Amino acid sequence: MRITGIALSSGLTAIALAILLIPIGPVGCATAQPAHHVTKDMVDQWMTELSNWGRWGDDDELGTMNLITPETRKAAAKLVQTGISVSLAHDVLKTKSPDNQSPFEHKMVMTGLNSPGQFCVDTYSVLYHGYAHSHLDAICHMFYNGKMYNGYSQKEVTDDGAQKLSVLNMKTGIFARGILMDIPKLRGVDYLEAGTPIYPEDLVAWEKKAGVTVGSGDVVFIRTGRWAQRAKEGPAKPEKLSGLHASCAKWLKDRDVAALGSDAASDVRPSLVEGVDQPIHQLVLIAMGMPIFDVMDLEDLSKEAEKQDRWEFLLTAAPLAVPGGTGSPLNPIATF
């Protein structure tokens, strides 16, 4: 409710004007404020201020995976109470669509119709980076001023693959506490409209609502409801996507998050930062050295979490062991 048409004393006028400048969201919380204005210069500054370069040594290639320790793994294992597991991967999309310009290719080589022997055989091919296929971004996936995380040169990535920071560094898998932050549920909607930014106060509000606090070594998944929207409205070009505003980067660093995931691309699109297309990707992958779970399907996870009234779970994920790989198709599992 906004205050209008009321004669106020001069002492209250400034307060009233400040209130009028804050648009109110579906659950009564501010969804846009001047404090959220971010510029390219600010992002450039945050590349230094939020940096983990050198934190674990000048030759470190694990980045925030260092935050997942034997102690955090043992604590995560104790989260398993019911033994119910949910996949976080969307079924592969084999048909070309506005949001899937590189369909997953599945070719049968030997079938029950043409096989002379006892086996059927097939091949897979996929350009997994993008907005259609569930995958993990290794921290070599992005460059800034010719550098990757920890100062490694982008020239380390050649036709033979990434010589530094490749997905092979995560060959032992990710075993950690996962936390679902269900922003549509926070706002009382089925899904966020495309292009909706998520701000740090939304993340804090969700922690309060869910009764869970993000901490060091956690893997955080942000649900925007992208797949629910796609199911209702059909596929659309990924020019507008709901996601984290650049101002959330400091929150992620302050909480010492080990990895970030979402059902879209983590970044809101357009980014609302002139001159920077994907500031969250840039700050997370390069400055912090934090892998990203992209294009997860969090619909089943949301339903199970609500059913159990538990928004934390054991997360397990094992990327393909590809020397030089910039990431991997992925089927992460949440176990309650």
Quote the pLDDT of residue 35.
Answer: 72
pLDDT tens per residue across span 150-165: 999 999 999 999 999 9
pLDDT tens per residue across span 196-239: 999 999 999 999 999 999 999 999 999 999 999 999 999 999 99
Residues 324 and 157: their CA atoms lie apart, in Å, by: 8
According to the CATH classification, is domain 37-90+134-335 in 2.60.40.10?
no
Mean per-residue pLDDT, 125-131: 97
Distance of CA 129 to the CA centre of its chain: 13
At 60, is the pLDDT very low, low, confident or very high (cuts 50, 70, 90)? Answer: very high
Quote the pLDDT of residue 130.
Answer: 96
pLDDT tens per residue across span 277-332: 999 999 999 999 999 999 999 999 999 999 999 999 999 999 999 999 999 999 99
Residue 6 has pLDDT above 70, yes or no: no
- Peptide bond before 332: cis, by omega within 30 degrees of 0? no
Mean per-residue pLDDT, 109-130: 93
75, 77, 79, 206, 315 from 83: Cα distances, Å = 16, 11, 9, 25, 12
pLDDT tens per residue across span 39-52: 999 999 999 999 99
Name which of 27, 5, 29, 32 is nearest 16 in CA terms: 5
What average pLDDT does the structure give for the chain? Answer: 91
pLDDT tens per residue across span 257-287: 999 999 999 999 999 999 999 999 999 999 9
Other C-beta atoms within 10 Å of 63: how many? 27
CA Rg value for the chain: 21
25 vs 198 pLDDT, higher one: 198
Instruction: Annotate 100-111 with b (16+ C-beta within 10 A) or e (fewer).
Output: beebbeeeeeee
SS3 labels along 293-305: EECCCCHHHHHHH
6 vs 56 pLDDT, higher one: 56
Quote the pLDDT of residue 171.
Answer: 98
List the beta bridge partners of residue 224.
none
Under DSSP, the state recorded for 285 is: I
Residue 25 has pLDDT above 60, yes or no: no
At 8, is the pLDDT very low, low, confident or very high (cuts 50, 70, 90)? Answer: very low
Residue 22 has pLDDT above 70, yes or no: no
Q: Who's near 159: CB < 8 A, 6+ residues apart?
A: none
What are the strands of the beta sheet with 292-294, ordered from one edge?
85-87, 333-335, 312-317, 174-182, 219-223, 259-262, 292-294, 135-137, 327-329
Quote the pLDDT of residue 117.
Answer: 86
Domain segments of the chain: what residues?
A: 1-30, 37-90+134-335, 92-133
The two tokens of residue 220 are 């955080």
CB half-sphere exposure, 166, CA atoms < 13 A: 16
Name which of 108, 168, 173 is nearest 140 in CA terms: 168
Other C-beta atoms within 10 Å of 9: how many? 6
Lowest mean pLDDT among 53-57, 109-113, 301-305: 109-113
Residues 6 and 18: their CA atoms lie apart, in Å, by: 15
pLDDT tens per residue across span 63-86: 999 999 999 999 999 999 999 999
Quote the pLDDT of residue 78.
Answer: 98
Residues 57 and 79: their CA atoms lie apart, in Å, by: 32
List the beta bridge partners of residue 97.
100
